[in-house]
Amino acid sequence: MSLVTINGVSLVYHDPEGETRALHNVNLSVEPSEFVVIVGPSGCGKSSLLSIVAGLIKPSSGEVYVGGERVTGPSRRIGYMLQHDYLFEWRTILENALLGLEVRKEKTRESVAEVRELMRRYGLGGFENHYPRQLSGGMRQRAALIRTLAVRPDCLLLDEPFSALDYQTRLRVAEEVYGILKDENKTVIMVTHDIAEAVALADRIVVMTPRPGTIASEHRIRFECAKRTPLTTRRLPEFSGYFNAVWRDLDSFEGEVQAVGGGEL
């Protein structure tokens, strides 16, 4: 049975300037342990879709189920990682990692020990009492990931998690984060605008249309190799085939986007 089910979700934003149709009839199912990557033109509603799955905003119509339960508010089975790490500069790394547990009033001796163990396992041992500004971009992103993992979600939503990093760091952090997520056997829905990154990480790529976003196509990504990591896949012969297929789908919208309203981009 699928872990996340998105059923006919549409979303309209209302503000004084008028209304924006952000999403239209989105349907998607994600299996346990699957890594789904969503790509689409900017402004097509990818972030909005993740916010709906996370229970932060309510869809105008349609519904979302996580583990069979209807999402009506922030769910404890979902972890959300934003584009920047948003570590709180007044908290130490450990205190940052404990934020979710504090909010949920689940900060106990055992849960703190678990978070310390996560930090040690993923290369942040010894940095518990450092402040965010003392860490490199990659370490900060890992700290943000541990903050998300600390509350033990089944499914992680990642919204362009690497786009704030420079290219070198980005490749390395993607490698690390992928390793951690596989290690912890998490289900992932990730948004990116980097096609190569999508192919390198995904089990399945979902391409969305321009606003109002709906699902245009899906690509199942399979590599013939023993132990898959983002960097090794980039060197495999199948890589460019997948890349081109996704790129063609996205490129087919180019004319439309300009015709619809280039002024808003």
Partner 1 sequence: MSYKSSDIDMRYAQQHSPEHVQYMRRNRRMRTVVVVLRVSILIGIFVLWEVAARLGWIDAFIASQPSRAWAAAVNLARRGELLMHLGYTVGETVAGFVLGTLIGIVVAVLLWWSPFLSKVLEPYVVVLNSIPKVALGPIFIVWMGTNVDAIVAMAIAVSVIVTVMMVYTGFTEVDPNKVKLLRTFGASKLQVLQKVVIPSSVPVMISALKVNVGLSLVGTIVGEFLVSKAGLGFLIVYGGQVFNMSLVMSSVILLSGVSVVLYYLVSRLEESVVKWRE
Ligand X SMILES: Nc1ncnc2c1ncn2[C@@H]1O[C@H](COP(=O)(O)OP(=O)(O)O)[C@@H](O)[C@H]1O
Among 39, 99, 198, 246, binds partner 1 (CB under 8 A): 99
Q: How far is CA 81 from CA 34, 54, 149, 239, 265, in A?
A: 17, 10, 10, 27, 25
Q: How far is CA 31 from CA 51, 67, 115, 144, in A?
A: 19, 10, 27, 24
Stretches 46-54, 64-72, 144-152, 253-261: which one binds Mg ion (CB under 5 A)? 46-54
Residue 237 binds which entry of ligand X, Mg ion, partner 1, none, CB below 5-8 Å type-dependent: none
* Smallest gap from residue 235 Cβ to partner 1 (A): 35
Helix (H, G, I), strand (E, B) or coil at 255: helix
Instruction: Based on the shown chain and the rule CB under 8 A, indicate whether residue 225 belongs to the binding site for partner 1.
Output: no
**CA–CA gap between residue 144 and residue 118 (Å, rounded):** 12
Residue 158, classified by CB atoms within 10 Å of its CB into exposed (0-12), middle (13-18) or buried (19+), is buried
Smaller CB separation from ligand X, 52 or 99: 52
Site string (45-64) toward partner 1, x via CB under 8 A: ---------x-x--------
Sign of the dihedral defined by the CA atoms of residues 90, 93, 182, 108, in that order? negative
Smaller CB separation from Mg ion, 5 or 47: 47
Smaller CB separation from partner 1, 146 or 207: 146
Instruction: Name the DSSP class of 264.
Output: G
Residues between 151 and 170 with contacts to partner 1, criterion CB under 8 A: 151
What is the CB-side half-sphere exposure of residue 129 using CA atoms within 13 A?
A: 0
Site string (70-89) toward partner 1, x via CB under 8 A: ---xx-x-xxx-xxx-x-xx
Query: What is the per-residue DSSP string for 154-199?
Result: SEEEEESTTTTS-HHHHHHHHHHHHHHHHHTT-EEEEE-S-HHHHH
Site string (108-147) toward partner 1, x via CB under 8 A: -----------------------x-x--------------
Among 5, 10, 47, 148, binds Mg ion (CB under 5 A): 47
Instruction: Based on the shown chain and the rule CB under 5 A, indicate whether residue 10 belongs to the binding site for Mg ion.
Output: no
Positions in the binding site for ligand X (CB under 6 A): 13, 15, 20, 22, 40, 42-48, 211
Give all strands of the β-sheet with 18-30 in edge-to-edge order. Answer: 18-30, 4-15, 61-66, 69-70
Please give the residue ranges that form the binding site for Mg ion (CB under 5 A).
47
- Which residues of the chain form contacts with partner 1 (CB under 8 A)? 54, 56, 73-74, 76, 78-80, 82-84, 86, 88-90, 99-100, 102-104, 131, 133, 151
